Amino acid sequence: RIARLAYVDSLTGLPNRQAFLEKVDRQIGRAGRREDVLAVMFMDLDGFKDVNDSMGHAAGDELLCVVASRLREATRDTDLVARLGGDEFLVLLADLPDDRGGSPDAVVSAVADRVGVSIAQPVVVRDRTIDALALQPGQVVLDAGCGTGWCFTRLASRVGRQGHAGPHPGSRASP
C-alpha cells in the first residue's frame, strides 16, 4: 500500500512522476546495453483550467481520469503512460526500432497521432459535452547514453522556447 502511494497517481491510477523517472532510468540503462532507442512524449491538456474553473474541481478530476484512460488505450502495450501532475502527462516509448530496423520517429508519430485522435473525441462530464480537448505534445527521441535529467532539461527548454514542446522535428537527440 505504501509503495502504491509513492508510485501511483491517486486520481488517475497512472504511475506518477517518481515512478516514471525510475522507469526511464532503468530503460536508459537497458537501451545503453542493447543500443535501443527510446522516446519521451510530454503532453499538456489545453483548456483544462477553463473546465476546472467553470465546472469545478470534481469535473476537472473526472476529465483527467477520462484523458488518462484514453492515453492508455491510444498507446502501445509496451509504452508507459504517467501523470506528471496537474494536466501534464508523459509517455515513455521503449522498444523502438533503430534506423536499421525501421524508423523510431515513425512509431512515435503514429502513437502521437492515435493519442491526438483519441483526445479530440468529445467527453461528457457532469452532463456537459466538452469537445474542444487537445494536447500540446512534445517529444524527445533518446539514444543510449542519455540521462533522465538531460532528457527533461531538453524537453523543458523546448517548452520554454515555444510555449509548448511542439512536434518533434524528426532529428534524434544526443547527450
Residues noted as catalytic:
87
Rounded to whole angstroms, how far apart are CA atoms 2 and 15?
14
Q: At residue 157, what are phi and psi to the nearest 5 degrees?
A: -70, -35
Alpha helix stretches (DSSP H) within 35-146: 48-55, 57-74, 104-120
Q: How far is CA 45 from the centre of its chain?
A: 11
Q: At residue 52, what are phi and psi to the nearest 5 degrees?
A: -60, -45
